[in-house]
Amino acid sequence: MATLIPDARLIPDAKKVGMVSLGCPKALVDSERILTRLRADGYAMSADYAGADVVLVNTCGFLDSAKEESLAAIGEAIAENGRVIVTGCMGSEAEAIRARFPAVLAVTGAHQYEAVVEAVHEAAPPSQGPFVDLIPQPVDADIKLTPRHYSYLKISEGCNHSCAFCIIPQLRGKLASRRIDAVLREAEKLVAAGTRELLVISQDTSAYGVDIRHEERMWHGYPVRAHMTDLARELGQLRTPEGAPPWVRLHYVYPYPHVDAVIPLMAEGLLTPYLDIPFQHASPKVLRAMKRPANEARVLDRLRDWRSICPDIAIRSSFVVGFPGETEEDFQYLLDWLDEAQLDRVGAFRFEPVAGAGANDLPDPVPEAVKEERFARIMARTEAISAAKLAAKVGRVLPVIVDEVGEPDEDGDIGATGRSQADAPEIDGAVFLRNVAPTLKPGDIVDVLVEDSDAHDLFGVPAA
Strands 431-433 and 397-405: unpaired
* Angle formed at CA 235 by CA 446 and CA 154, multiple of 5 degrees: 100
- Helix count and strand count (H, E) for the chain: 12, 20
Q: From the options 3.40.50.2300, 3.30.572.10, 3.40.50.880, 2.60.40.10, give the CATH code of 13-131.
A: 3.40.50.880
For domain 397-462, give the CATH number. Answer: 2.40.50.140
Structure confidence at residue 128 (pLDDT): 58
CATH architecture of structural domain 150-391 = Alpha-Beta Horseshoe (3.80)
Structure confidence at residue 296 (pLDDT): 61
Structure confidence at residue 315 (pLDDT): 97
How does pLDDT run along the chain (464 residues), one tens digit per residue? 333 333 333 345 688 999 998 878 878 888 888 888 888 888 888 888 988 999 999 988 777 778 888 899 999 999 999 899 999 888 888 888 999 999 999 998 877 878 888 999 998 888 654 444 444 444 445 677 778 899 999 999 888 887 887 777 777 788 999 999 999 999 999 999 999 999 999 999 999 999 999 999 999 999 999 999 999 999 999 999 999 999 999 999 998 899 999 999 999 999 999 999 999 999 999 999 998 866 666 899 999 999 999 999 999 999 999 999 999 999 999 999 999 999 999 999 999 887 777 788 888 999 999 999 999 999 999 999 999 999 999 999 999 999 999 998 888 899 999 999 999 998 999 999 999 999 999 999 999 999 999 999 999 999 97
- Would you say 155 and 205 are in contact if contact means Cβ atoms under 8 Å apart? yes
Side-chain-side CA neighbours of 384 within 13 Å: the count stands at 8
- Would you say 454 and 390 are in contact if contact means Cβ atoms under 8 Å apart? yes
Structure confidence at residue 171 (pLDDT): 74
- What are the extents of the domains in the chain? 13-131, 150-391, 397-462
Angle between helices 228-235 and 180-192 (to 10 degrees): 20
Neighbours of 148 (CB within 10 A): 13
CA-CA-CA-CA torsion sign (234, 238, 244, 245):
negative
Whole-number Å distance between alpha carbons of 357 and 359: 5
How far from 247 is each of 29, 238, 250, 274, 333, CA to CA, in Å? Answer: 19, 10, 10, 10, 35
Residue (of 424, 461, 458, 423) closest to 440 by Cα position: 461
Structure confidence at residue 135 (pLDDT): 44
Q: How far is CA 440 from the centre of its chain?
A: 26
SS3 of 145, please?
coil
DSSP 168-221: HHHHH-S-EEPPHHHHHHHHHHHHHTT--EEEEE-S-GGGTTGGGTT-EEEETT
